[in-house]
Structures are given as structure tokens and as C-alpha cells.
Chains A and B, each alone.
Chain A
Amino acid sequence: MTASPDAPAILVEGVRKSFGDVHALRGIDLAVPRGTVLGVLGPNGAGKTTAVKILTTLLHPDAGRAVIEGYDVVRDADAVRRRIGLAGQSAAIQEELTGRENLRIIGRLHHLGRAVARAQADDLLARFDLEDAADRAAKTYSGGMVRRLDLAASLVGSPSVLFLDEPTTGLDPRSRLGMWAIIRELVSGGTTLLLTTQYLDEADELADEIVVIDRGQVIAAGTAAQLKDRVGGDVLEFTVPDRARIADAVAAVAPLGEAEPQTDEASGRVTVGVGARSSVSLIEAVRRLDTAGVATDGLAVRRPSLDDVFLAVTGHAAEDEASPPPGRRARGRRAPAEDEGGRR
């Protein structure tokens, strides 16, 4: 029953899940070695949350199997639950209670014993810089503090495998950096982490390995560097206002690229992967476009984004799928069928 030490902490084989005729997961395979971080990257509705829910025993897969530290998420759900921590997309915090109370209650429900639950709560509050606010109702917390408290709650019971579903979505840039620092420190202690995100830079920053999910399937996997190579490194991007000149512009910048330039006829946008030679390429691009006599807007070199990876791997842009109406989205948690509306 117990897994050998070098067995993966998370093993997923051929997992499928549908909600009615919405196919959220269409055969997913993952293997996450112990003590490493897997970034699951994909747009809204790609199936990320469904995958996390299956791995955390909240949903049963329709087919395939998922194993956490040697325990099957369906057959040995209790054993799995003793080993995992989960921080979902919305902060699962009782806002009428104080930060300390929230953590103590979670500790009690982890069967830690009163004294241990108290000690862990105090320890986590200190680690997450929440000591000053520990005895205030959580509804007085800032967004970043609520996320930190939620992350702290997922660590109660000292899980060996942690699941973070879009841990920085909705945070301001500063809180996001703070969150990254916390997550990095966390995994340095040897915790296995699976984290979902919509941002390539976040996966790049935190993950050892990245899988890209689209429409319920893994479409690319590798390290951040490998994925960026598929894009062609940094991205030179500009818009051609005169659509008739797009071909000329592409011809002008194509020699700079490490990969084929991608064009979007509708917006007149042209992107080219230029590797690590970003500033040289920028100057060269200006020169060549000028020589060709093509007017452009917003010429810039930037780091590759999820969109670029998508474009390179699938040939289509990353889109939110089956987006719920804006009014509903604003309130956070959506029903899985809406959340994970993979296209058929």
C-alpha cells in the first residue's frame, strides 16, 4: 500500500471527467516527483480546477486513476486527506472569526489535539506575517492577508502534498510578489506542490515543471525554459495599422525570429520569438521595418506569455472558455460545470 520513496508524490493516469456533455478533462496524465513543484498552466475553463478537485478527493474521476503518495484518491480517500492541503480559488476563510480562530478550528478538525492546534496556529500566523492581525475578525483583512491566511489554513496538519488553485488570481502586484516569496519558502522545506495558474511568469517563477492544459488535455509539458524555447524566447510584438502591409512587415522581421512569426489578421498584430537577443532584435526590427516603409504601432519586446505558448503549441490564442456572465464571475466560486466548460 505504501509507495516506495522514489515513487511520484502525485500520479495521474488517463483521468477523465465530464459534467453532463461538458468534457472538463479528456484524459490527463501527470507525474510529480516528491519535493518538486508542478505548475498547471491554462486559461479559464481548461480543466485545472476539475483536476485539483479530483486530486483532493472532492470529485470522483469518470475514468483513469489518481494516486497521492501511493494512495488512490477514490479508494483511500481518507489516507489521501491526511496527507494533502488545499487552497482553492476563493479564500475559504470564515470572515466573522479571527485569523487565529480560523486556524485553530482547522487544526481541531485535523484531529491535532487542542495544544498542538494552538501551537500550529501561532506558528503559522508568525510565518505568514499575520501576528498583528491574528485576533481581528478576518473580514477586516486586506485581500493579500486573506490569501495568506487561506494558505496558512491549507498548511495546518503539515501536509506533504499541497494544492494551490490559482493562488495569486485577483491579487495586486505587490501581494502577488509576497505570495511568491511565501510559496518559494514553503517548497524549500520539501513539500510537493501542484499549483494552477493562468500566468506563465508565475509558473516560470515557482514551478520545476510545467504542464499546459487546454480543453481538458495536456498540450505541452516541460520546464519553463523548454516551453519558452517553443515560443522562441522573448517576443517581439507590434501592430500594423494598414492590414495590407502585414505581409511586408512579416517579411521584414522574419529573419530576426527563432520561430515563425505569428500574425493575427483581425487585429493586425504580429509576434515573433526572438530568443534572448531582445534589445538587439528591437533595434534591428525598427531598422528593417523602417527600410521596408511599414508603419507600426506599439513595437516592443516582452517576456513570453501564456498566450504566446498557446499560439505556438496550438495555433490558437488562449481563450476563456464557457465564461459565465460577468455578474456571476465577480462573486468568485462557480459551479464546476461552468468553471470547467471544456469545449467539445
Chain B
Amino acid sequence: MSAATVAPSGRLGLMYDRARWAVLDALTITGRDLTIWRRVPAFLVFTLVQPVMFTLLFRYVFGGAIPTDTPGGYVNYLMPGVIVQTAAFGSFGTAIALSREVQKGVLDRFRSMPMARSAVLAGRLTADTARMLVTILVIVGAGYAVGFRFSYGVGPAIAMIVISLLFGLAVCCVSAYIGLAIKDEESVQAFGLIWVFPLTFVSSAFVPIQTMPGWLQAFANNQPVSIVINTVRYLAIGPTRGATSLNPHLWQSLVWIAAILAVFGVLAVRAYRRTG
């Protein structure tokens, strides 16, 4: 049974088998997570209704008071911000679900089974990314209804959605780590999202950073959410007077996303192994 008794070709077959089960197990978890998402009205409201509400509130309540010189008006400035914020908020579900599964012993059962060790996290993150894609498409639809237009072409529009998803996935890794490390659903309810608020609001999501006090601008200009939003906004509406080039924000975004994925991906995997 040990690896030593397996012939080289058998070992290759074993590796293939493992990879195949890793994918199949992850997909089983993805299917399970998406089914649960569809069954719980609160999850649907959180992922579909809330972002639409944000769009309408900022478009019609705050929008008039916020000066931007964006072509097409504030709604074109706003929508990329709402999309990135929603991607970040969406990660809350990741933390809640994982902490609940730790608490209920669901992860203990999975970890005592012969399934792939990677499947719970990989499957969950796949489901969360799929959920996020649905949310983003709903927001884009809502945005179109209130005057938003992609004005830089189809390719960049798709790139924008992909970068938003990658960023959302990175934040989900952070949340997965938080959920697995805290392990307590109520604490996650309290703390799981709180750190996202300053990051998304003290950014270029809703207001131009020049309107903030100087000391805050330094943070707002250089933190990853602003960088990603600037990239996403450029891809949505093209060059503006404030942003004449895609660089350096595009590569800075990709570096940030890769770094967050690497660091918190590893932390989340380690936290998963230790949940017992």
C-alpha cells in the first residue's frame, strides 16, 4: 500500500487519480455551497439586493453632492466602485459559512473522510467566485438602468469584470482565513466585515480622493482597494482627465491581488488543517 511498492507508472496513475479527485471533490463542495446559497433568502438578499440598494442610494441620494468630472456623470464614476466594494463585501459569506462549519463539526467530518484535503477551500472559493460573478452582473444591469455605460469597449469591460472577480477571490481568501481562525460564527458576524468598511470607503470608490483631508489622502491613494478601483474604472470608462493611463494601476493591482492570494491562501490552508 505504501508509495514504495507502487511501480513508477502506477505512481503516475496515482497522481492523476489524486488530481482528478481533487477537482471532483471541489466541484461537489461547490455544488453544495451554491445549493445552500439558493436556499437561504438572506444570502440572496445580501448578495443581490444590497448592492442594488447601494447603487440607487449613491446614484440618487449622495450622487448629486459629489463633484466629479467623469464623462457620463457621477454614475460612471460610481459603478466601478460599487462593483469592487460588492466583491469585497461578498467575502463575508465565506467567513460566516466556514466558521459555522467549524462550529458544527462539518469540517471535522470532512477531514475524517478520504476526500481531497484541498476540496473544502477550493470548492468554497469556486462557489463564492461564481456567486460574485452573478452579483456583479446584477449590479452592471442595475447600473445600466440608472445611466451607467461601459464606454471603453467590450474587451476592457470583460477585463474589468475579471479583475473585480480576482480581487474578490483574494478578499475571500482573507475571509476564509478569518472564518477558520476565529471559528465562532457570532464573532465572525461582528468582526468579519468590519475591516472591509474603512478599506472600501476610504478609497476612490465613491468620492474623489482629493476631497478628503490630506492625512487621509496618503492612505486612500496607496491602499489596494483604491488601486483596484482605479484600474477597474479605467477599464470601464476609458481615460479621463484624472486618469490618463492604465499604468501603473493595472500592474499594481495584479501584484496586490497575487500577494493577498499567496499570503492568505497559505494561511487559510494552514488554518483549515488545524481546525481539529
Contact = CB atoms under 8 A, between A and B. Distances in A.
Interface of A: 1-2, 53, 56-59, 76, 78-79, 81-82, 84, 86, 88-94, 96-97, 101, 105-106, 108-111, 137, 153-154, 157, 331-333, 335-336
Given A1-B2, A57-B112, A79-B1, 7 more contacts: A58-B111, A84-B112, A86-B109, A90-B103, A96-B35, A101-B32, A333-B102
B105 A88 contact: yes
A96 B97 CA distance: 12
Given A58-B276, A59-B276, A109 B28 contact: yes
A56 B112 CA distance: 6
B136 to A, nearest CB: 24
B254 to A, nearest CB: 34
Interface in B104-140: 104-106, 108-115, 119
B113 to A, nearest CB: 6
Contact of A88 (B21, B39, B108): B108
A89 B110 contact: no
Contacts of B183: 335
A88 B32 contact: no
Contacts of B2: 1
B28 to A, nearest CB: 5
Contacts of A154: 109
Q: Which of A1, A78, A106, A333 has the most CB of B within 10 A?
A: A333
Nearest to B111: A58
Q: Which of B29, B108, B109, B119 has the most CB of A within 10 A?
A: B109
A91 B105 contact: yes
Contacts of B102: 333
A86 B103 contact: no
A97 B104 contact: no
Contacts of A332: 103-105
Interface of B: 1-2, 21, 24-25, 28-29, 32, 35-36, 39-40, 102-106, 108-115, 119, 183, 186, 276
Contact of B115 (A94, A96, A109, A335): A109
Given A109-B28, A111-B115, A331-B103, A101 B109 contact: no
14 contacts: A2-B1, A57-B112, A59-B276, A79-B1, A81-B112, A90-B104, A91-B104, A92-B108, A93-B106, A96-B39, A97-B32, A101-B35, A108-B25, A111-B114
A333 B105 contact: yes
Which 6 pairs from chain A and chain B are nearest by CB?
A: A58-B276, A92-B105, A88-B105, A109-B115, A92-B109, A56-B112
A97 B108 contact: no
Contacts of B32: 94, 97, 101, 105
A89 B108 CA distance: 11
Contacts of B108: 53, 56, 58, 86, 88, 92
A50 B24 CA distance: 31
A108 B276 contact: no
A93 B109 CA distance: 10
A332 B113 CA distance: 22
A57 B113 CA distance: 9
A93 B113 CA distance: 15
Contact of A108 (B28, B104, B105, B186): B28
A71 to B, nearest CB: 8
Contacts of A153: 109
Contact of B114 (A2, A78, A94): A78
Q: Which of B105, B111, B276 has the most CB of A within 10 A?
A: B105
A106 B186 CA distance: 27
A1 B111 contact: no
A97 B36 contact: yes
Contact of A109 (B1, B36, B113): B113
Given A88-B105, A93-B104, A109 B35 contact: no
Contacts of B119: 109
Contacts of A106: 109, 113
A94 to B, nearest CB: 6
Contacts of A82: 114
Nearest to A71: B1
Contacts of A81: 112-114
A185 B72 CA distance: 72
Contacts of A93: 104, 106
B191 to A, nearest CB: 16
Given A57-B112, A81-B112, A111-B114, A97 B39 contact: yes
Given A109-B28, A109-B113, A92 B106 contact: yes
Contacts of B186: 331
Nearest to B18: A78
B126 to A, nearest CB: 15
B104 A76 contact: no
A97 B36 CA distance: 7
Contacts of A333: 102-105
Given A1-B2, A96-B36, A96-B40, A110 B106 contact: no
A109 B122 CA distance: 14
A239 to B, nearest CB: 40
A109 to B, nearest CB: 4
A28 B180 CA distance: 30
Contacts of B39: 96-97, 137
B26 to A, nearest CB: 10
Contacts of B111: 57-58
A234 to B, nearest CB: 37
A105 B101 CA distance: 15
A88 B109 CA distance: 8
Nearest to A331: B103
A153 B112 CA distance: 12
